[in-house]
A and B are shown apart, each in its own frame.
Chain A
């Protein structure tokens, strides 16, 4: 298979530079290349791709390939935005010496990803600054759930209470405020521990993975068509995006092209998902600074979108719409009219909501300069999505790696440098406008034709990366197949996993009462992180 012409020079240079040390270079798809090498190459390879080619490490995960290859594999997935391609470095880890070298000191964005591998696969981290457990909590027995010889339905001994020790922060007048895992509002569970001196926050420790529910292991135990429904439940508010990312991976692996009409319908659904979530967030940010009127109007608009979702797909959260090879339901004339009405109605209604918010100086006052995430910090942490764009990161898979039907439109990506709550809200406002315009463009050129293609039997032991720009940011699903239309591994990467640590940075120096609004302005998924 030939690789993209934009990728070829990079590959040539890499091959020349690392020569003999690359064991193999495989390109199953034009924009997806795998490089096999030994562990000692990782740091150098990674640094080289970063410096020379401005690559980003977008996912790092392990796979238990002992049954077939006798080793564990580590995968380092790099995105080359300018070349619209992915290069993945694969290195073996022998079961006799199950350990790997940490990159966290050089690359803080992989901190949790590395620790998750250590927890779930039992591969020991060497040189990590804080190699404590994260995915499995402290009271778990010594088990490695993602190893192949661990059964999904294993019954573990019951929970025996809290044993986690938070880091102490010392100094005169410094005290800690524990919050969670059950929060005050109707939101997901996690624990935040603030160290404060008076009001300003000195340090925030975040403990997550409370909603870890064996999702990735479950993928290995379900027939592949059932996995689409599981993917919908990775993060409910991004159900369609996750399911589509999963389908994308399987379709790429099977080498099929989704029919044009299905690609457009997928894109519209992705925009509808963006719409209802962005509008809800804009309202929720307002309510966290006590502007409840705006929140109520936003909730009313969100309800409008959810009802149209139901008319279009049978489910308010777009569940059941995604399927392998395309989409499940077509839309007739009436349904498309309902969609057009929604867009026409939402445009002035949304502008009037924005005007209401912008007219409230007490609201803007609270949002400005709150929870600042500086561009350089965001870059180090690899922050993506809304929060990334509010902090200077000009990137969007819809534009840089066009999937679904995004190659047929021009996607404008809002980018700001300030990185405060106000600008994270501004990114949402800009994106709502853009979504409305994209839906119009897509419906105007909706092609006729079939809704899905047959995939047939999937080839065993093949790999593929699926990707979708969800409303929160980039979503990746990486799969490896087993015989009999099953999966040997499905690695799910929600943008939240990458973005959580940025909260700890953004809240520094702010006061605790501002935490809710800073948190809301990121609005990260706990379930998507914990899986």
Chain B
């Protein structure tokens, strides 16, 4: 007992102050890829090398629409290796409330040799900004974080409970989700707990391209939860089906089975990215609910 105390005191506090401070990720971390849309000359090399089809293009005789779908991206960085217009950033806070927010596309005029030049319509604006979160965004995230306890008290009765369901993942996402309970990320400081029973849960955190063999279990788990309930899709597979897509054994993205409130891209998303997405979903609770059940 004395030994345990001595060790704990000797270790001190190791908990990150995220989200008040930026994510503690290496400058070398591969987060979201960034495309220099205005100067992009050819989408083909990147689209060919991209293993998940996150970078894609559609051609008509004279025009090309090129797109980047963050929900599919596994942050491998292969596109940046072959294309100077693409740069990997270390930004990991990519979660979004809608699948469309993760999709960026732009149209170009197409040249006969297959390259493109003039930007016809600029990239659609995204909700999340390129680069690091701005100070004001971070502040608002911090405010959300601080408000969580209050809000959770009001709506869920003192705390938010999460039920995690692996609907077919490779377990990479689980490695990181488990990390949320570590003393470093300590998700319980927000009054958020992982629970065993869906009946105790307010949020369903789902990983994996939903497999045929788990679709029913996922639906049953969701049905067992009380309203109001949130669904968060985790990782490239959960957001889009990832490298597996849809096939004879997988249904694909989580939103093919359940209504999804927040998407957290990444392969796997690191604990900061997960925390960011969960906080974003929490913020949603105050929005008017379509089912009218949130009061």
Inter-chain CA distance A213–B181, complex, in Å, is 28
Neighbouring B residues of A162 by C-beta, 8 Å: 216
A319 at the B interface (CB under 8 A): yes
- Whether A230 and B213, one on each chain, are in contact in the complex, defined by CB atoms closer than 8 angstroms, is no
Q: Which residues of B contact A233 (CB under 8 A)?
A: 170, 172, 237, 242-244, 267
* Distance to closest chain A CB from B178 (angstroms): 5
Majority SS of interface residues in chain A? Answer: loop
List the A side residues contacting B181 at CB < 8 Å.
186, 299
Asked if residues B171 and A302 are in contact (CB atoms below 8 Å), the reply is: no
- Asked if B196 and A184 make an inter-chain contact with CB atoms under 8 angstroms apart, the answer reads yes
- Chain A residues whose CB sits within 8 angstroms of the CB of B175 once the complex forms: 236-237, 280, 317
Which of A154, A181, A185, A307 has most chain B Cβ within 10 Å?
A: A181
Check A153/B214 contact, CB under 8 A, given A239-B172, A314-B29: no
Is B143 positioned at the interface, with any CB of A under 8 Å from its CB? no
CB of B174 within 8 Å of the partner chain: yes
Does A47 sit within 8 A of B, measured CB to CB? no
Tell me if B51 and A296 are in contact (CB < 8 A).
Answer: no
Residue pair B216, A210 in contact (C-beta under 8 Å): no
Contacting pair B246 A181 (CB below 8 A): no
Contact B183 A296 (CB under 8 A): yes
The answer to whether B171 touches A182, judged by C-beta atoms less than 8 angstroms apart, is: no
Given A320-B77, A356-B3, A230 and B184 contact (CB-CB distance below 8 Å):
no
- Greatest chain A CB density within 10 A among B194, B209, B243, B248 is at B248
CB <8 Å contact, B4 and A212: no
B25 at the interface (CB under 8 A from A): yes
Query: In the bound complex, what is the Cα–Cα distance between A360 and B7 (angstroms)?
Result: 13
Nearest B residue (CB) for A137: B213
A-contact bits for B189-214, CB 8 A (1 contact / 0 none): 00000101110000000001101111
Least CB separation from A320: chain B residue: B76
Stretch at the interface among A106-114, A214-222, A339-347, A435-443: A214-222
Contact between chains at B182 and A527 (CB < 8 Å): no
The 8 Å CB contact of A314, one of B3, B28, B172, is B28
A104 within 8 A of B: no
Cα separation A316 to B29 with both chains bound (whole Å): 8
Distance in angstroms between the alpha carbons of A156 and B249 in the assembled complex: 8
Q: Interface centre among B28, B167, B221, by most A CB within 10 Å?
A: B28
User: In the complex, what distance in Å separates the CA atom of A317 from the CA atom of B270?
Assistant: 10
Tell me if A38 counts as interface (CB < 8 A to partner B). Answer: no
Instruction: Give the distance in Å from the alpha carbon of A161 to the alpha carbon of B77 in the complex.
Output: 41
The 0/1 profile, CB within 8 Å of B marked 1, for residues 118-147 of chain A is 000000000000000000010010010100
Among A210, A297, A359, point to the contact of B11 (Cβ < 8 A).
A297
Given contact pairs A236-B169, A359-B3, A214 touches B216 in the complex (Cβ within 8 A): no
Verify if B8 is at the interface (C-beta below 8 Å from A): yes
Q: How far is the CB of B281 from chain A (nearest CB, A)?
A: 17
Among B28, B183, B196, B247, which residue has the most Cβ atoms of chain A within 10 A?
B247
Q: Which B residues touch A499, using CB under 8 A?
A: none
Q: Are B249 and A300 in contact (CB under 8 A)?
A: no
User: Closest residue of chain A to B235, judged by CB?
Assistant: A236
Q: Give the interface SS of chain B, mostly helix, strand, loop or mixed.
A: loop
- Say yes or no for A229: interface residue by CB 8 A criterion: yes
A6 at the interface (CB under 8 A from B): no
A154 contacts across to B, CB distance below 8 A: 247-248
Min CB gap A50→B, angstroms: 34
Beta-carbon contact of A300 and B184 below 8 Å: yes
CB distance from A471 to the nearest CB of B (A): 12
**A159/B216 in contact, CB under 8 A:** yes
Check if A527 sits within 8 Å of B26, measured CB to CB. no
A249 to chain B, nearest CB (A): 18
Contact of B217 among A181, A215, A303, A360 (CB under 8 A): A181
Q: Is the C-beta of B263 less than 8 angstroms from some C-beta in chain A? A: no
Contacts of B228 in A (CB 8 A): none
A188 interface neighbour in B26, B30, B166, B270, Cβ under 8 Å: B166
Do the beta carbons of B170 and A236 come within 8 Å of each other? yes
A319–B248 contact, CB under 8 A? no
Residues in B neighbouring A303, C-beta threshold 8 A: 179, 182, 184
A185 adjacent to B196 (CB under 8 Å): yes
- In the complex, what residue of chain B is closest to A308 when comparing beta carbons? B26
A527 pairs with B170, CB closer than 8 A? yes
**A13 close to chain B: CB less than 8 A:** no
Shortest Cβ distance from residue B141 to the other chain A in the assembled complex, whole angstroms: 21
17 chain-A/chain-B pairs, Cβ below 8 angstroms: A153-B247, A159-B213, A186-B164, A188-B171, A213-B209, A213-B211, A213-B247, A222-B51, A234-B170, A236-B174, A299-B178, A303-B179, A310-B28, A317-B172, A319-B267, A320-B77, A355-B3
Q: 4 tightest A-B contacts by CB?
A: A236-B172, A184-B196, A299-B182, A236-B170
* B interface residue numbers (CB < 8 A to A): 3-4, 7-8, 11, 14, 24-26, 28-30, 49, 51-52, 74-77, 88, 164-179, 181-184, 194, 196-198, 208-209, 211-217, 221, 237, 242-244, 246-250, 267-268, 270
| Extra contacts besides A314-B29, A352-B7 (16): CB < 8 Å | A159-B215, A189-B217, A212-B212, A213-B209, A214-B249, A229-B243, A236-B171, A236-B268, A299-B183, A300-B184, A312-B28, A314-B26, A314-B28, A314-B77, A320-B77, A526-B171
